[in-house]
Amino acid sequence: MRIGFGYDVHPFEEGRRLILGGVEILGHRGLKGHSDADVLLHALTDALYGSLALGDIGSHFPDTDPKYKNADSSVLLSECYSEILENGYKIKNADITVVAEKPKLQVHIPAIRKRISELLSCSVDTISVKATTSEKMGFVGREEGIAVHAIVLVEENE
């Protein structure tokens, strides 16, 4: 087995849709980014790349490349996971913590877990998604953006 860790941050921006874990969260401004700015999937993708020391999401999908403008991060995660599988590994489990003052995410967590499990062809109980606040401290506390921490375990495919 191997372990990987990923971290990402995106600032809020007016006029953008909020996409988290491949799910659109209605009623809140979205995140700024070159792609769809899905900070949750970016952290998870980075964790998967990290597990096999395959670099990071920026080296695979440069934000200077116009090809990735408004890119669907679900596609980036799928491409990343194909590479994990090609290297002879599969996901054992993932644990993801979203740090946001707003919006409240509890009601969205089941849909996010389901979406990720579909993208990685694994069971829902493989994917843990948790939400916390920053207790009003720092940039998250000032509601300037969202931060996500993700950790994954991968195991060799028989």
Sign of CA dihedral 107, 74, 115, 155: negative
Six-digit token string for 55: 């670099």
CB of 124 to Mg ion, least distance (A): 24
Q: Check: CB of residue 19 under 8 Å from CB of residue 37.
A: yes
Please list, in sequence order, all residues whose beta carbon lies within 8 angstroms of the beta carbon of residue 73, skipping any fewer than 6 positions away. 19, 22, 35, 36, 37, 38, 41, 42, 45
Q: In angstroms, rounded to a whole number, what is the distance separating the alpha carbons of residues 123 and 114?
A: 8
CA 89 to chain centroid: 19
Note whether 8 binds Mg ion by CB under 5 A.
yes
Beta carbon nearer to Mg ion, 68 or 89: 68
Closest-by-Cβ residue to Mg ion is: 42
Beta carbon nearer to Mg ion, 39 or 105: 39
Interacting residues with Mg ion between 53 and 112 (CB under 5 A): none
Beta carbon nearer to Mg ion, 77 or 131: 77
Interacting residues with Mg ion between 31 and 60 (CB under 5 A): 42
CB of 73 to Mg ion, least distance (A): 8
Beta carbon nearer to Mg ion, 42 or 108: 42
- Using CB under 5 A as the binding criterion, the count of chain residues that bind Mg ion stands at 2
Stretch of 4-12, 82-90, 104-112, 119-127 contacting Mg ion, by CB under 5 A: 4-12
Beta carbon nearer to Mg ion, 8 or 101: 8
Name the 3-class secondary structure at 100. coil
| 40, burial (CB in 10 Å: exposed 0-12, middle 13-18, buried 19+) | buried
Stretch of 8-16, 17-25, 105-113, 134-142 contacting Mg ion, by CB under 5 A: 8-16
Residues of the shown chain interacting with Mg ion in the complex, contacts defined by CB under 5 A: 8, 42
